[in-house]
A = this chain, B = another copy of it.
Amino acid sequence: MNKQWQIELEKIIKDKKRLLSNPADLLSYGFDGSFGQYQPERVVQPINREEVADIMKLANTFGVPVYPRGQATCLSGGPLPVRGGIVLDTCKMKDKLTIDSENLTATVSPGVITSKIKEAAEKEGFFYPPDPSSAHVSTIGGNVAENSGGPRGLKYGVTGNYVLGLEVVTPQGEIIRTGGQTIKNVTGYNLTQLLVGSEGTLGVITEVTLRLIPKPKSRVSLLVVFDDLVASGKAISGILSSGIMPSAMEIIDQHCINAVERHKPAGYPVDAAAILLIELDGHPKAIEEEMVEADRICREIGAREVQTASDEEDQKKLWEARKLVSPAIAKIKPTKISEDATVPRSKIPEMFERLSEIREKYNVELVVFGHAGDGNLHPNILTDKRDQEEMKRVEMAVSEIFESAIEVGGTLSGEHGIGTMKAPFMEKELGKIGLEMMRRVKEAWDPNDVMNPGKIFPQDGQTKLVLTE
């Protein structure tokens, strides 16, 4: 028999195609790109903010958890319905994608795929820099909720740096607008940036206003090959302290290089200890000079080889191969645990050393790639969740990765979010009071704890990662 709230929900979403309850649907809305599988009681697909507001009012009244999600490419468990209830899928809210050429802004519905925004902007001569690897499948609503990053964080910042304003449905079902259309706005608290990266725990995003910038005139890419991982770390510092600000600077270690070459050969040198992929953008004359300078710096530090790619096709190939790293390493073993520990740039060589010790110590398949220019590494552990003994070791390895990042002055998460997996480590980074001040915001906004409950904040006494069942 249906519960009262389920009956009420049918009055809000009358279109049966947008209110799902059969087991197959519930199953397919129970996971994301991270670890774990849960079962919601209902899945709804609202098409406008009024429906979202009505759903939240109902949820708030009946105390039913609501789990908002876009395409669920999330790597930290953000959309997981850990306490059942309602999954609120925003993918059908995708009718708006307006470029305002005079004000250099884009206004978009939350369900719009991020790469479509980029394309629309480029058609008008503009540039939307945030470029998470999932951009061709993930939604802008999800990107904003998780404050997605990607390779371009170094020079251009992350999603949040481009969000000027939001329309949001609060946990109690009220529709508010934050920020606006202007770059400068100090009218009261910055609720926009409070909501960005809040992982759907403070509201449901129903519209986003984004800042665009002029499209850079040209781009070049470099592939730099190193026989020594530490040297590659030094090259990163060397380039940045020379005054060059690459639009992207990625590192790929030997394990990842080999995985890519096995998966879909890209011509990466399989015997290299690491490669750096560097993108420079701007005025043609400027990047020509910078390219020569970067080449010189890398060779001086001990790069074995520097390849440059100026034409669009060659560059595309280089970067497409980079995007294959994640799917390629996923083939090594059935379970992939992807982290995003982020450290001050100067600590990259030290972090590499620590990661290699962790690999040895726990005998786990630990590989590393990531956005080296901004210190945002992606240590990935490839494992098999059915192997309970190995999972114990993985658990300890992951914990030690988190601890190492904090110890060298870094942070638990650079771009994936906290979700379920990193919640136990929050207090270690933020301290008791730091975490308490976040919790106060959550409680003030969502007194009945219905908005994506079970995320970010550790459950009572939860201070350890548990991956085994």
Give the nearest-CB partner of A172 in chain B: B433
| Beta-carbon contact of B412 and A187 below 8 Å | yes
Q: By the criterion CB–CB under 8 Å, are B415 and A182 in contact?
A: no
- Name the one of B100, B104, B158, B189 contacting A197, with C-beta atoms under 8 angstroms: B189
Residue in contact with A214 in the complex, picked from B105, B175, B245, B437, CB distance below 8 Å? B245
Judge if A329 is at the interface, Cβ distance under 8 Å: no
Give chain B nearest CB distance to A326 CB in angstroms: 17
- Bound form: Cα–Cα A205–B133 in Å: 36
A240 partner residues in chain B, CB cutoff 8 A: 104, 214
A215 an interface residue at 8 Å Cβ cutoff?
yes
Complex Cα spacing A376 to B240, Å: 33
Query: Could you give, for residues 185-204 of chain A, a 1 whenever the CB lies within 8 Å of some chain B CB and a 0 otherwise?
Result: 11111110110111000100
Q: Which of these, B101, B186, B194, B431, contacts A418 with CB under 8 Å?
A: B186
> Taking each of A175, A243, A282, which has the highest tally of chain B beta carbons within 10 Å of its own beta carbon?
A243
Q: A160-B190, A180-B409 are in contact. Are A444 and B438 (CB under 8 A)?
A: no
In the complex, the answer to whether B189 meets A214 with C-beta atoms within 8 Å is: no
Asked if A279 is at the interface (CB within 8 A of a chain B CB), the reply is: no
Q: Are A183 and B374 in contact (CB under 8 A)?
A: yes
Contact-size category for A: 35 or more
Q: Which of A409-447 contact B (CB under 8 A)?
A: 409-418, 422, 426, 429-431, 433-435, 437-438, 440-445
A215 CA / B242 CA spacing, docked (Å): 10
Chain B CB within 8 A of A81 CB: no
Q: Can you name the residue of chain B whose Cβ is closest to the Cβ of A211?
A: B157
Query: Quick one: which of B103, B196, B217, B286 contacts A345, CB cutoff 8 A?
Result: B103
Complex Cα spacing A376 to B180, Å = 13
* Assembly CA distance A82 to B417 (angstroms): 41
Question: Using Cβ atoms and an 8 Å threshold, which residues of chain B touch A175?
Answer: 433
Known A104-B240, A444-B441: A414·B176 in contact at CB below 8 Å = no
Q: Which of the listed residues A175, A191, A244 has the most CB atoms from chain B within 10 Å of its own CB? A: A191
| Nearest-Cβ distance from residue A254 to partner chain B, whole angstroms | 25
A294 sits at the interface (CB 8 A): no
CB A301 to nearest CB in B, in angstroms, measures 14
Alpha-carbon distance between A282 and B344 when the two chains are bound, in angstroms: 26
- How many Å lie between the Cα of A214 and that of B282 in the bound state? 15
Instruction: Count this chain's copies in the assembly.
Output: 2
A282-B282, A445-B437 known; A190 vs B183 contact (CB < 8 Å): no
Known A-B contacts A214-B245, A444-B441; the reply to A180 vs B283 at CB < 8 A is: no
Interface 1/0s, chain A 89-104, versus B by CB < 8 A?
0000000000011111
Does A315 lie at the interface of the complex (its beta carbon under 8 Å from any beta carbon of B)? Answer: no
- A146 partner residues in chain B, CB cutoff 8 A: 186
**Residue contact A182 to B445, C-beta cutoff 8 Å:** no
Question: In the bound complex, do residue A437 and residue B102 qualify as a contact, i.e. CB atoms below 8 Å apart?
Answer: no
Whether A147 pairs with B186 at a CB distance below 8 angstroms is: yes
Chain B, Cβ-Cβ closest to A435: B188
Inside 8 A of A104's CB, which chain B residues have their CB? 240, 345
Nearest-Cβ distance from residue A466 to partner chain B, whole angstroms: 20
Q: A205-217: contact bitstring with B at CB < 8 Å (1 yes, 0 no)? A: 0000000011101
Point out the residue from B100, B176, B410 that lies within 8 Å of A182, measured CB to CB: B410
Q: Bound complex: CA of A161 vs CA of B438, how far in Å?
A: 21
Ranked nearest first, the 3 interchain pairs of A and B with the lowest CB-CB distance are A283-B286, A184-B414, A193-B193
- 20 more A-B residue pairs beyond the given contacts A186-B414, A194-B194, A440-B445, with a C-beta to C-beta distance below 8 A: A102-B345, A147-B190, A153-B184, A157-B183, A170-B433, A182-B344, A186-B416, A188-B426, A188-B438, A189-B194, A189-B456, A190-B197, A194-B441, A214-B243, A214-B245, A217-B243, A283-B289, A285-B285, A437-B445, A441-B445
